[in-house]
Every structure is written in C-alpha cells, then in structure tokens.
C-alpha cells in the first residue's frame, strides 16, 4: 500500500514570496490533515478535511495560509506571503475514517520550508 | 485550550539503559496515541491506548494509560541505538472532528 505522498520535499524562499505544497493521501482515506512542525516541537494541526470539506481550520492563519482539497483526494496548502516564522516542516497526514480520534494517522515525509 | 504536556524534553542514555517518557493532560482523555519520529523523518504511529489502566507491550516498549485517563507513559527497556528519535504522545483535540493534539515530544539519544 502506497503511503502519503508530499512534494516538494524541500523549499527555500524569501520572505513575502509565495509557496505551495501538495499532498496525495493514502487511497480511500476520508480525512486529510495539514500540520506545521516547528523545530523542537510537536506537530500542530493547521487544517483538517473530511472528504473535500473543511472540518477544522481554527489554527490556520487565514490571512496568509489557504488550503483546498479538490474532489476529496489531493490537497494543496499555500502560504502567501511567507514570513520568517513560517520556517517549519509541513506534514500531511491521512486517516481512513472521518471524525474519529481513535483512527491512526499516517504521515507523509513532509516538506521542509526555509524562509529567508 | 486543551494541552498535552510531555516530559522530559530530552533524554540521553547509554545503550542498554532504560528510558521513560511521561505524558499528562489536564482533562480526561478518551484515548491516547504514541508516535515515533526518527531524525529527519516523519511521525509513525506506535500504539493507541483506550481503557483506564491499560498496559500494552511491543517487544521492549511498554505503554501505560493512567487510571484517571489523564496521563500515560512509554517505557523502553534496554535501549538500543535504533530507538533514537523523538517520541510524541497525542490526545483527542476536542469536538467531534477526530483531530489530535500532540505533545512537544521527548527526544531520545542513545550512546553506543
């Protein structure tokens, strides 16, 4: 079974530039998550999709971050414009069943973003 | 907001020594999950605990869920260099969305 795919793996940009990340979850997984992991900290949820609808984006900085999940499969996360404090690893995860905290989350390899 | 606290933040051990990390919540948790993240890698699911007082073992790893379901621990017996990484606990984030709140993790280094 293929895992969660993410691209790019690394990205270096200057502040105020824009960047986009892509995620392809495990086939058949209803729920998709985007996390931000700052160095030395645990993953922090940015947004959660259930199929193609948003169920939690309470911690997404909506003035600069946006995300979509078209057709309930792939997802993109965009930052525009980027700030220095956005330097982090952006992890995508998926789980099979929607709306159940007991479900195992499967993480992708992440995108390491460095904002200069 | 809901938080999951984890201690210690770092642990350096000699190979063969035991290791324990602790996870605490101010609220009762319906379940708790543990993940391992190798250096440069991504979190990988280890186990989930659901029942009060539950104890589960995976080879040299022992996971416990407190009686009050507010704390949990992970104990590794006789650490090996392959155990190196950061161990995270995660509890439900509240609501019905099924999201998780992760602790800050305990970074384990093992000296051969």
Residue from B6, B99, B102, B107 to probe the interface with A (highest A Cβ count within 10 Å): B99
Beta strands in chain B (DSSP E): 4-7, 10-14, 19-25, 32-37, 44-49, 55-58, 61-65, 71-76, 85-92, 100-102, 106-111
Asked if the model's pLDDT at residue B98 lies above 90, the reply is: no
Lowest mean pLDDT among A66-70, A78-82, B83-87, B99-103: B99-103
CB atoms within 10 A of CB A28: 9
Q: Is residue A97 very low, low, confident or very high in pLDDT (cuts 50, 70, 90)?
A: confident
What does the pLDDT average to over B60-74?
97
Q: Is the pLDDT reported for residue A64 higher than 90?
A: yes
pLDDT bin (cut points 50, 70, 90) of residue B46 is: very high
Given pLDDT bands bounded at 50, 70 and 90, which one contains residue A20?
very high
Residue B1 pLDDT: 61
State whether B42 and A109 contact (CB < 8 Å): yes
Predicted confidence at residue B57, as pLDDT, reads 97
DSSP annotation of B9 reads S
Nearest CA among B60, B58, B59 for reference residue B47: B58
CA B8 vs. chain centroid, Å, equals: 11
> How confident is the model at residue A72, as a pLDDT?
83
Smallest Cβ distance to A41: which of B33, B101, B104?
B104
CA-CA distance, A93 to B41, in Å (whole number)? Answer: 13
How is A28-68 classified by DSSP, letter by letter? Answer: T--EEEEEEE-TTS--EEEEEEETTEEEE-TTS-TTTEEEE
Opening angle at CA B58, ends B55 and B62, nearest 5: 40
Q: Which pLDDT does position B99 carry in this prediction?
A: 81
Can you say how many angstroms the Cα of residue B30 is from the centroid of all Cα atoms in its chain? Answer: 16
Q: How many helices (H) and strands (E) does chain A have?
A: 0, 11
Share of chain B above pLDDT 90, in %: 87
Distance between CA atoms of residues A115 and A79, nearest Å: 11
Alpha carbon dihedral A65, B1, B29, A29, in 10-degree steps, equals -10
Q: Count CB pairs under 8 A between chains A and B.
A: 67
Q: Which residue has the tokens 């260099």?
A: B81
């Amino acid at each position: 079974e293929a895992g969660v795919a993410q691209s790019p793996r690394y990205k270096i940009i200057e502040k105020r530039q824009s960047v986009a990340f892509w995620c392809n979850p495990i086939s058949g997984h209803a729920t998709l998550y985007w996390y931000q992991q700052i160095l030395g900290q645990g993953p922090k949820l940015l947004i959660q999709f259930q199929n193609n609808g948003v169920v939690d984006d309470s911690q997404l900085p909506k003035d600069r971050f946006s995300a979509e999940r078209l057709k309930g499969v792939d997802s993109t996360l965009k930052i525009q414009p980027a700030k220095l404090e956005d330097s982090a690893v952006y992890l995508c995860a998926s789980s099979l069943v929607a709306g159940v905290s007991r479900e195992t989350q499967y993480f992708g390899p992440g995108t390491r973003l460095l904002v200069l | 907001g809901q938080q999951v606290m984890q201690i210690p933040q770092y642990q350096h051990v000699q190979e063969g020594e035991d290791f324990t990390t602790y996870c605490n919540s101010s609220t009762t948790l319906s379940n708790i999950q543990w993940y391992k993240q190798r250096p440069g890698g991504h979190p990988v699911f280890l186990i989930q605990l659901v029942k009060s007082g539950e104890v589960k073992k995976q080879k040299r790893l022992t996971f416990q869920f407190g009686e009050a379901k507010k704390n949990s621990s992970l104990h590794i017996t006789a650490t090996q260099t392959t155990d190196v990484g950061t161990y995270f606990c995660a509890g439900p984030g509240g609501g019905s969305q099924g999201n998780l709140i992760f602790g800050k993790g305990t970074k384990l280094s093992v000296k051969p």
